[in-house]
Amino acid sequence: MNEPATSLPDITRHAAAEVAVRPATLDDVGAIHRLLKDYATRGKLLPRPESDIYQSLREFVVVALGDHVIGCGALQIFTRQLGEVRSLAVNSTYAGMGIGTRLVNAIEADARRLGLSRLMALTYEVRFFQKLGFDVVEMKALPEKVWGACINCPKFRNCDEIAVLKHLSPAE
Ligand SMILES: CC(C)(COP(=O)(O)OP(=O)(O)OC[C@H]1O[C@@H](n2cnc3c(N)ncnc32)[C@H](O)[C@@H]1OP(=O)(O)O)[C@@H](O)C(=O)NCCC(=O)NCCS
């Protein structure tokens, strides 16, 4: 399950809050790939080949303890208005320490900086996103995503993920 707990540093929730969210580097690709693959194997995330992670690397942020990437997430832009939180994953050893929240907050801050007005995700973790101000929406509220990217997805005809959306007003 994720990177084996025995090889990972032990930290408290307080210490986790001190670890920076930073842009991913080439050295992080292998660890990002392993983290996503582990959740993909359990059907929680879509698998992404390593080549895809290299090509999208500048979309990724990570939280790392030394050499260990313990969380990652990416911002993919679809249109002038719409971006997506993609490939969000936190090593289960560090679940519930606020790392997922900080990754989404960093992705949201980047989306605002770029001038996006809507941020979405497709997820099974609805409660997590609701706590961060996202609302559940129908997939058809996101035609840019559905007709742009989902159409090439193996789950396209049987997608059981739930769409969540947050409006990013400049005043927030
Ligand atoms: C979803 C995920 C990123 C959450 O990461 P995390 O670091 O454990 O989340 P946080 O510690 O920031 O949790 C924030 C809050 O959401 C809650 N929460 C987290 N996961 C939850 C879940 N599955 N169901 C209900 N609440 C959840 C936490 O309890 C916490 O609540 P609190 O603020 O009252 O303490 C992580 O569980 C994960 O990697 N899941 C597998 C991959 C996945 O589904 N990614 C999302 C696809 S876009």
Determine whether the shortest distance from the Cβ of 45 to ligand 1 is under 6 A.
yes
* pLDDT number for residue 1: 57
Nearest Cα neighbor of 128 from 104, 109, 108 is 104
pTM of the full predicted structure? Answer: 0.90
Structure tokens at 48: 């992404």
pLDDT in tens, 76-87: 999 999 999 999
Cross-sheet strand order for the sheet of 68-77: 21-23, 60-65, 68-77, 82-90, 118-123, 162-167, 135-137
**Ligand 1 center from residue 140 Cα (angstroms):** 25
Domains, the chain, with CATH or none: 5-167 (3.40.630.30)
From the CA of 44, give the closest atom in ligand 1: 44
Mean pLDDT of 12-31: 90
Q: Is the pLDDT of residue 170 over 70?
A: no
Probe target for ligand 1 pocket from 125, 127, 142, 155, with the most ligand atoms within 8 Å of CB: 125
